[in-house]
């Protein structure tokens, strides 16, 4: 019997030297080796006759070795091994560089399988550096669907393939899924799935293996998040019920809440009445009005005698929240404070700030609610600090619309409120990809908008110019716009390396209409609210993801003015870029999030690895699979909350990193 925890250096065919190489691939033990899945498969199942070979194609031949010799070149002193091989239709030369030992391995009169790219040299066909293997009952490197792995230096596909196949043949992986699930879903057993995913006999077995292993990844994640939800529901928290008081505050607002806002707020307030901590995600499109709901929730907490905290990912956004909300709270005698890395305040009733609010030196006396704006932008260490707030109510806000499959999987421990409608009176933002010859004409239009009283954002991918990346930088663009393009306008510059006081001053000037235009990096991507801004210019648009582009566009169109978003790109292929085309054709953040998920995958969008999730096989595009796996996980935990009746499953789940907000 082999233990999957056996250190990789203790395995036959590995040893200490090769173990160091494998550890660079994060293969630490036997289990890691068996679950180090191929990134692709190459179809070498078809044998091609030598007479049918064509230059440029990767082909597989079965041939007898007619002669083989190794010699050194006179010029570069390279070792070359030539083998003349033939079948019933003809012959071809196989050529290997710097592998003189092959003369002792590949012997005349023996038949081998050779796989490689066919080249034409001096009007003669050659196989250059082909893979070779003698025919046997089961091939590893040829005459099959051959696994292709991600590699590192000093190890070859052939070496890694051989090691993995050796131990796949020695190990039988035990099943951990209940039989009723595998039968109901028609899933392969775990052992067959792992074997077939590495070395499938055919495409149908590869697909069956993918389906089983994708189910495993999603099912295990669902178990983990549902375990966390049930654990949370056993904790105690402050119970707060003062709805009528909050309704009086809502009546005094200078605007009406949308139906979606009213529904989400009622869900948030209902959470507070429960005996266990709330853990709700408020997910809404840009400009849908999440901040006022967070403010009302914090107001109710403070009026009930408890403290609340609002965490923002950047100083710019934290300061903006503080400046916008201070009067909202202080009008009713609630103290509001700001705390960032450069602005320290002692805790009040409502505390607004960055991750600086999570420092050990900050002592809260009666903290009952934490609101996190754009939680996925906080790093692992910052999120880990939230462990200390385990019995507070938690409201997470995200302006990056989350596809339903992701919401059910990555955010399965959260209750979710969706804001899908925008406040009344908003005009559709006109979005255009501007070809370089039309830049001057577009600048004229932008100047007309500014003369009419509007303001403009200019977003650049970099802070400073780069020799390696030929894209616009904020500092260079600021100089150009100030001196050459709009010398008569007042233009500000904002980026992440500026001191807090500078950033605060520039943002205040822009909000007070003292600046006509603000040149910035992606520091304004989230939350910055300037209703008078009606023009968004995005330089190097192809360098941003769909979610970022949508966030940038969401900085304008926040009033009843007609607003515009202009995309500039130096890339001649920009018009054919699928992300830019999707962005031009839709303003619906949820549609764009689904598209971004298809194009970029969950890892890029939502930091799945950083969150403790890493989907190597599952794509999260199959809503039916996600829903089924969630239902199975919920039913299993209802029958067996601690998984004591499923010890192997319990072991697998406990070995995974803690998940959302832990």
Q: How far is CA 43 from CA 40, 59, 63, 92, in A?
A: 10, 10, 19, 22
Question: Measured between alpha carbons, how far is residue 8 from residues 15, 381, 583 in Å?
Answer: 8, 30, 47
Strands 79-87 and 90-97 come out as antiparallel
C-alpha distances (whole Å) from 650 to each of 151, 637, 642, 657 are 32, 11, 8, 13
> CA geometry: angle at 138 spanning 133 and 141, to 5°?
40
- Sorted by sequence, the CB contacts under 8 Å of residue 119 that are 6+ apart come out as 55, 56, 125, 126, 127, 128
Q: Contact 542/574 with Cβ under 8 angstroms?
A: yes
46-143 and 430-586 in the same fold: no
- State which fold the 243-419 domain adopts: Rossmann fold (3.40.50)
For the domain spanning 430-586, the CATH number is 3.40.50.300
In the prediction, which pLDDT does 391 show?
Answer: 81
Confirm if 564 and 429 have CB atoms less than 8 A apart.
Answer: yes
User: Could you tell me the fold of the domain covering 46-143?
Assistant: OB fold (Dihydrolipoamide Acetyltransferase, E2P) (2.40.50)
pLDDT at 385: 61
Question: Tokens standing for 127?
Answer: 């196989």
At residue 205's C-alpha, the angle toward residues 204 and 208, to 5°, is 90
Gap between the Cα atoms of 398 and 288, Å rounded: 11
Residue 441, pLDDT score: 95
pLDDT (tens digit per residue) in 181-202: 999 999 999 999 999 999 999 9
3-state secondary structure 388-420: HHCCCEEEEEECCCCCHHHHHHCCCCCEEEEEC
Strand partners, 585: none
Closest to 318 (Cα-Cα) out of 373, 279, 275: 373
- pLDDT < 50 positions in the chain: 380, 604-612, 658-662
C-alpha 337/C-alpha 369 separation (Å) is 15
Q: Supply 79's token pair.
A: 């070792």
* pLDDT at position 479: 94
124-134 and 111-121 beta bridge pairing: antiparallel
Long-range contacts of 11-15 (CB under 8 A, 24+ apart): 11/163, 11/167, 12/166, 13/162, 13/163, 13/166, 14/163
- Give the CA distances from residue 646 to residues 94, 218, 269, 637, 641, in Å, rounded to whole numbers and listed in that order: 54, 18, 38, 10, 10
pLDDT at 283 (0 to 100): 86
Q: Which helix (H) or strand (E) holds 95?
A: strand 90-97
List alpha helices for 512-646, DSSP H.
546-553, 578-585, 589-606, 623-639
Q: Determine the Cα–Cα distance for residues 316 and 492; give it in Å rounded to an integer.
A: 14
Give the pLDDT of residue 662: 34
């Amino acid at each position: 019997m082999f233990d999957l925890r056996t250190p990789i250096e203790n395995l036959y065919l590995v040893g200490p030297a090769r173990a160091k190489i494998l550890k660079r691939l994060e293969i630490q033990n036997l289990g890691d080796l068996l679950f180090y899945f191929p990134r692709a498969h190459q179809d070498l199942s078809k044998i091609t006759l030598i007479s049918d070979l064509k230059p440029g194609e990767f082909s597989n031949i079965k041939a007898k070795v007619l002669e083989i010799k190794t010699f050194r070149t006179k010029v570069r002193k390279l070792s070359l091994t030539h083998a003349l091989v033939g079948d019933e239709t003809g012959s071809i030369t196989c050529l290997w560089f710097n592998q003189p030992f092959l003369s002792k391995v590949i012997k005349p009169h023996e038949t081998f399988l050779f796989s490689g790219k066919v080249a034409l040299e001096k009007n003669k066909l050659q196989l250059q550096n082909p893979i070779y293997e003698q025919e046997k009952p089961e091939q590893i490197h040829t005459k099959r669907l051959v696994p292709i792995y991600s590699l590192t230096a000093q190890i070859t596909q052939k070496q890694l393939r051989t090691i993995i196949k050796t131990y796949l043949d020695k190990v039988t992986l035990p099943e951990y899924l209940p039989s009723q699930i595998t039968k109901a879903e028609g899933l392969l057993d775990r052992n067959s799935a792992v074997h077939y995913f590495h070395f499938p006999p055919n495409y149908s077995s590869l697909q069956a293996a993918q389906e089983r292993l994708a189910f495993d990844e999603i099912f295990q994640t669902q178990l983990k998040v549902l375990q966390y939800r049930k654990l949370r529901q056993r904790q105690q928290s402050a119970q707060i019920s003062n709805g009528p008081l909050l309704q009086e505050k809502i009546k005094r607002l200078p605007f009406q809440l949308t139906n979606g806002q009213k529904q989400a707020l009622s869900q948030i307030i209902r959470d507070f009445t429960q005996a266990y901590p709330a853990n709700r995600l408020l997910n809404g499109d840009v400009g849908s009005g999440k901040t006022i709901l967070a403010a009302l929730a914090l107001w109710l907490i403070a009026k009930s005698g408890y403290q609340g905290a609002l965490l923002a990912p950047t100083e710019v956004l934290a300061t903006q929240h503080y400046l916008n909300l201070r009067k909202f709270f202080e009008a009713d005698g609630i103290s509001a404070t700001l705390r960032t890395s450069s602005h320290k305040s002692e805790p009040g009733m409502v505390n607004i700030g960055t991750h600086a609010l999570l420092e050990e030196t900050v002592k809260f006396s009666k903290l009952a609610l934490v609101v996190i704006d754009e939680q996925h932008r906080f790093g692992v260490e910052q999120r880990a600090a939230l462990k200390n707030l385990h019995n507070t109510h938690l409201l997470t806000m995200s302006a990056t619309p989350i596809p339903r499959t992701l919401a059910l999987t990555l955010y399965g421990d959260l209750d979710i409120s969706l804001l899908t409608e925008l406040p009344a009176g908003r005009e559709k933002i006109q979005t255009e990809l501007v070809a370089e010859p039309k830049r001057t004409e577009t600048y004229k239009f932008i100047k007309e908008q500014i003369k009419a009283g509007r303001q403009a954002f200019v977003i650049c991918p970099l802070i400073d110019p780069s020799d390696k990346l030929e894209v616009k930088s904020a500092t260079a663009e600021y100089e150009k716009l100030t001196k050459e393009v709009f010398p008569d306008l007042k233009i500000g510059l904002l980026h992440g390396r500026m001191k807090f006081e500078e950033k605060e001053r520039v943002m205040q000037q822009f909000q007070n209409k003292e600046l006509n235009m603000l040149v910035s990096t992606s520091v304004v991507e989230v939350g910055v609210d300037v209703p008078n801004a009606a023009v968004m210019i995005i330089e190097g648009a192809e360098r941003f993801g769909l979610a970022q582009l949508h966030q940038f566009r969401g900085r304008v169109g926040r009033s009843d003015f007609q607003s515009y978003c202009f995309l500039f790109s130096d890339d001649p292929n920009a018009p054919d870029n699928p992300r830019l085309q999707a962005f031009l054709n839709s303003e619906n953040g949820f549609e764009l999030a689904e598209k971004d998920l298809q194009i970029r995958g969950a890892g890029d969008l939502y930091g799945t690895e950083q969150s403790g999730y890493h989907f190597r096989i599952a794509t999260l595009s199959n809503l039916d699979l996600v829903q089924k796996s969630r239902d199975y996980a919920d039913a299993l935990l209802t029958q067996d909350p601690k998984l004591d009746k499923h010890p192997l499953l319990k072991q697998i789940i406990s070995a995974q990193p803690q998940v959302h907000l832990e």
